[in-house]
Amino acid sequence: MNSTGSSAPVSHIGVLTSGGDAPGMNAAIRAVVRTAHYHGLMVSGILEGYEGLVTDSVKKLHVRDVSNIIQRGGTVLRSARSESFRSVEGRSIAKQTLDRHGLDGLVVIGGDGTFRGASIFTSEHGVPIVGITGTIDNDLGGTDTTIGFDTATNTAMELVDRIRDTASSHDRLFFVEVMGRTTGAIAMHCGIAAGAEFVMVPEKKQGIPELIHVLERAAKNKSSVIVIVAEGDEEGGAYEVARKVKERFEHYETRVSVLGHVQRGGNPTVADRLLASRSGVAAVEGLLAGRANEMVGIVNGKMVFSPFELVVQGAKPKEEDLMRILRILSI
The answer to whether residues 108 and 12 touch, using CB atoms and an 8 Å cutoff, is no
Helix or strand or coil: residue 14? Answer: strand
Name the minimum Å distance from CB 186 to ligand F6P: 7
* CA pair distance 148, 126, nearest whole angstrom: 30
Cβ proximity to ligand F6P, 49 vs 111, nearer residue: 111
Spatial CA neighbour of 179 closest among 16, 18, 320, 20: 20
DSSP H or E segment with residue 299: strand 294-299
Stretch near ligand F6P under the rule CB under 6 A, chosen from 131-139, 154-162, 213-221, 246-254: 131-139
How many Cβ atoms are within 10 Å of 290's Cβ, its own excluded? 10
Site string for ligand F6P, 243-282 (x = CB under 6 A): ---------------------x------------------
- For 1-97, strand residue ranges (E) read 12-17, 42-46, 58-60
Cβ proximity to ligand F6P, 20 vs 128, nearer residue: 20
Q: Which of 135, 254, 257, 330 binds ligand F6P (CB under 6 A)?
A: 135
Stretch near ligand F6P under the rule CB under 6 A, chosen from 6-14, 28-36, 135-143, 286-294: 135-143
Amino acid at 330: S
Cβ proximity to ligand F6P, 83 vs 250, nearer residue: 83
Binding to ligand F6P in span 137-196, by CB under 6 A: 137, 179-181
Backbone angles phi, psi at 42, to 5 degrees: -85, 155
* CA pair distance 57, 20, nearest whole angstrom: 19
Binding to ligand F6P in span 66-125, by CB under 6 A: 111
Regarding 133 and contact with ligand F6P (CB under 6 A), the answer is no
The answer to whether residues 304 and 296 touch, using CB atoms and an 8 Å cutoff, is yes
* CA pair distance 40, 12, nearest whole angstrom: 9
Chain-centroid distance, C-alpha 94: 25
Name the minimum Å distance from CB 297 to ligand F6P: 17
* CA pair distance 238, 176, nearest whole angstrom: 6
Binding to ligand F6P in span 18-57, by CB under 6 A: 20
Would residue 56 show up in a list of annotated catalytic residues for this protein?
no
Name the minimum Å distance from CB 323 to ligand F6P: 20
Q: Is the dihedral of CA 123, 129, 130, 134 positive or negative?
A: negative
Chain-centroid distance, C-alpha 283: 17
Selecting among 137, 150, 233, 272, the annotated active-site residue is 137
Stretch near ligand F6P under the rule CB under 6 A, chosen from 129-137, 190-198, 291-299, 302-310: 129-137
Cβ proximity to ligand F6P, 149 vs 305, nearer residue: 149
Cβ proximity to ligand F6P, 63 vs 262, nearer residue: 262
Name the minimum Å distance from CB 14 to ligand F6P: 22
The answer to whether residues 49 and 17 touch, using CB atoms and an 8 Å cutoff, is yes
Regarding 242 and contact with ligand F6P (CB under 6 A), the answer is no
Spatial CA neighbour of 287 closest among 156, 122, 160: 122
Judged by CB under 6 A, the number of residues near ligand F6P is 10
Name the minimum Å distance from CB 20 to ligand F6P: 3
Name the minimum Å distance from CB 180 to ligand F6P: 5
Residues that bind ligand F6P (CB under 6 A): 20, 111, 135-137, 179-181, 231, 264
Q: Residues with catalytic annotation?
A: 137
